Amino acid sequence: MTEIAQNLFSRRSLLRAFAATTLVAAPTYSNAFGILKGAGDIRRIRMYSGRTGESMDTIYWIEGKYIAEALKEVNHFMRDWRTGDVKQMDPRNVDIMAAAHRLMDVSEPYMLLSGYRSPKTNNMLRSRSGGVAKNSLHLVGQAADLRLKSRSVNQMAKAASACAAGGVGRYSRSDFVHMDCGVVRSWGA
């Protein structure tokens, strides 16, 4: 098969074609579990990183099943950019991020400020700021710090809180929202 033909039939292009037909065929709001009411049978996450210059737009769940290859892409994208360490991210947190994004009805991707943090990075950040938890959920791949240019911290936090599925931290002075899949709670202003 030629290189052009291989590119035409990549996994991503096949997923996009399948997703497009599924979106047309699947009734909206069907079979969505709790926090993703309204997500239909497809879950998608879009992010970019100002730190690495990378971007990601992937469908990671179709008709009740996570796509392992897409989750690996998420894990790599959300790695500790300072050390290069990759951790398996908890898909529940990706679900919260995707649900909040959908609730805000935006096409803009999230800017990922922090996903997984290695112990070395977390300790360094703790030494510089009192707002970094010693046992942060970033250490176990269950948290993300996110920003959107088109939405305020309050709008993002309200959308994440509406999911009622984890922690939501407002960091208005730093212009980001923390989302995690831990105990339901909120903090910050």
Per residue of the chain (189 residues), give pLDDT as tens.
444 444 444 444 444 444 443 333 333 222 224 555 545 589 999 999 989 999 999 999 998 899 999 999 999 999 999 999 999 999 999 999 999 999 999 999 999 999 999 999 999 998 888 778 888 999 999 999 999 999 999 999 999 999 999 999 999 999 999 999 999 999 998
- Distance CA(15)–CA(49), nearest Å, equals 23
Range of the domain at 48: 11-188
CA distance 56 to 90: 17
In a domain, 55, yes or no: yes
Exposure on the CB side of residue 28, measured as CA atoms within 13 A: 4
Is residue 3, in this structure, part of any structural domain at all? Answer: no
Q: What angle do CA 26, 30, 36 make, to 5 degrees?
A: 115
Residue 1 lies in a domain: no
Answer yes or no: is 117 within a domain: yes
- Per the structure, the count of domains in the chain is 1
The pTM is what? 0.79
Q: What CATH number is given to the structural domain containing 46?
A: 3.30.1380.10
Structural domain contains residue 92: yes
Q: Collapsing DSSP states into helix, strand and coil, what is residue 141? A: coil
Asked whether residue 2 is assigned to any structural domain, the reply reads no
Residue 67 lies inside a defined structural domain of this protein? yes
Tell me, yes or no, whether 6 lies in a domain.
no
